[in-house]
Amino acid sequence: MDLLNTLVDKGLRRELPSRDEALAVLATSDEDLLDVVAAAGKVRRHWFGRRVKLNYLVNLKSGLCPEDCSYCSQRLGAETGILKYTWLKPDEASKAAAAGLAGGAKRVCLVASGRGPTDRDVDRVSDTIKTIKEQNEGVEVCACLGLLSDGQAERLRGAGADAYNHNLNTSEATYGDITKTHTYADRVDTVQKAHAAGLSACSGLISGMGETDEDLVDVVFALRELDADSVPVNFLIPFEGTPLAKEWNLTPQRCLRILAMVRFVCPDIEVRIAGGRELHLRTLQPLALHLANSIFLGDYLTSEGQAGKADLEMIADAGFEVETTDQVTLPEHRRGGGCGSVCGSQDKADETPADTAPAEAAQPAPQADAPAAPGPRTDLVTVRRRGAGTDVAPNA
């Protein structure tokens, strides 16, 4: 397919595809899906080999958020039955992080619900970062605390944070349909603050919220323009009790096409399979490793994920290897932030075998029912009841 050959060539040169090319990836057929995965896989292997970076989430403060993000189980007024607790102490957070690190994670992501941290909150998180770093040599720490005020990113960097996560989530054009209590511009501002402070910028998206292909392309191009070092691709977890509880718009094939599009637009950037992979990729999760070079290990913030042991087995069975602390994730030209001036500019017919049996012996074939489209897998949405904020051992 000429499109895929063009996209591979551009990906190997770090050249940005056109929007039409990115849209064409999302429009490919299921019959062409393996070709799409193979093509994007060439780009992934060129920049990241067969390494998979493991990241581990620690929810420092759960629920009680004043924001109204429609996708979020921690939103204002949500009746989702999630764990609710205030700040973990540094030793508690470090203990939770240690479980993920023991499972092979090299980055710990410290997350707290809320609009954004107070200066006292930044002090708390700074103490937690220092404790984790003192107790775990070589660990990377990423903070995700919401909207940042002036000077807070610098303070987190001074405490030892390596990265800051703040997702754009969806396109600027549709952001107001998802959240009313802050703006898309607020989110962009926080990513820019983190970048300016010397933190590695981590910013991604949520797919499956009813967005169009154009919305997906717009947000991924915006992330490329922001020069994020890592792009988490979330697949909506439709929690009962949130406005998007009935949005089950994704298939495993659709998820793979989204990941492939992100890889072509962000060829040399860490692409992470984030929340919802178990719900929507399901048995095709191993194929997604040919597109993304990073995943979350174990559970998420408020929902349970695949068992950590199963994650490690999946990686090994698919022929990949876990990235170690002495391996650097990003290609050399991206290390230290920034990508330099060369970062880019802008059907088959069914083949049915002939029936060779004698005509008189032929029997009418039974009429098979058409396979039913898979319905919402609400049984796969499980509220986290272990790990941080509980007395139960975490999943890692």
Q: How far is CA 68 from CA 121, 131, 219, 222, in A?
A: 21, 32, 20, 23
CA distance 37 to 367: 34
Q: What angle do CA 168, 204, 225 make, to 5 degrees?
A: 75
- For the question of residue 144 being annotated catalytic, the response is no
> In the chain, which ranges are continuous DSSP H helix?
2-12, 19-26, 33-48, 90-102, 119-135, 152-158, 175-178, 184-196, 213-226, 252-265, 277-280, 285-288, 308-317
- For the question of residue 109 being annotated catalytic, the response is yes
CA distance 61 to 74: 10
* Choice among 51, 69, 124, 255 that is catalytic: 69
Q: How far is CA 365 from CA 291, 355, 362, 370, in A?
A: 41, 12, 9, 14
Decide the pairing of beta strands 140-144 and 107-112.
Answer: parallel
* Choice among 72, 144, 266, 343 that is catalytic: 72
Q: How far is CA 321 from CA 290, 293, 294, 354, in A?
A: 12, 10, 11, 45
- For the question of residue 202 being annotated catalytic, the response is yes
Say how many residues make up the chain. Answer: 396
Cβ of 28: how many Cβ atoms within 10 Å? Answer: 19
- For the question of residue 272 being annotated catalytic, the response is yes
CA distance 180 to 70: 9
CA distance 123 to 109: 17
- For the question of residue 339 being annotated catalytic, the response is no
Q: Which of 220, 169, 192 shows the shortest CA–CA distance to 337?
A: 192
* Choice among 75, 263, 272, 277 that is catalytic: 272
* Choice among 144, 202, 255, 343 that is catalytic: 202
Are residues 85 and 61 in contact, defined by beta-carbon separation less than 8 angstroms? yes
Are residues 257 and 230 in contact, defined by beta-carbon separation less than 8 angstroms? no
- Residues with a catalytic annotation lie at 65, 69, 72, 109, 142, 202, 272
